[in-house]
Amino acid sequence: MDKHSLWQRYVPLVRHEALRLQVRLPASVELDDLLQAGGIGLLNAVDRVDRYDALQG
């Protein structure tokens, strides 16, 4: 699976988890901040999967 496909597949999960977390955090924590952090984590994960796939041949 290529990076773009992985990104598209898991972005909705990042949004779901950010919304779920938002209700349990102080009001000062904005949804955009949670989405940004989740997006960065997803980018890192997609890069790791891509490197792993490259090593596997």
Res 14 pLDDT > 90: yes
Lowest mean pLDDT among 4-8, 36-40, 48-52: 48-52
CA distance 28 to 37: 15
CA distance 1 to 57: 13
The residue ranking higher by pLDDT, 49 or 18, is: 18
- The domain ranges of the chain are 3-56
Q: Which residues contact 49 (CB under 8 A, 6 or more apart)?
A: 1, 6
Binned at pLDDT 50, 70 and 90, residue 18 comes out as very high
Binned at pLDDT 50, 70 and 90, residue 15 comes out as very high
Q: What is the mean pLDDT of residues 35-54?
A: 90
Instruction: Catalogue the E-assigned strands of the chain.
Output: none
Reading the block at residue 15, the tokens are: 């949004």
Average pLDDT, the chain: 93
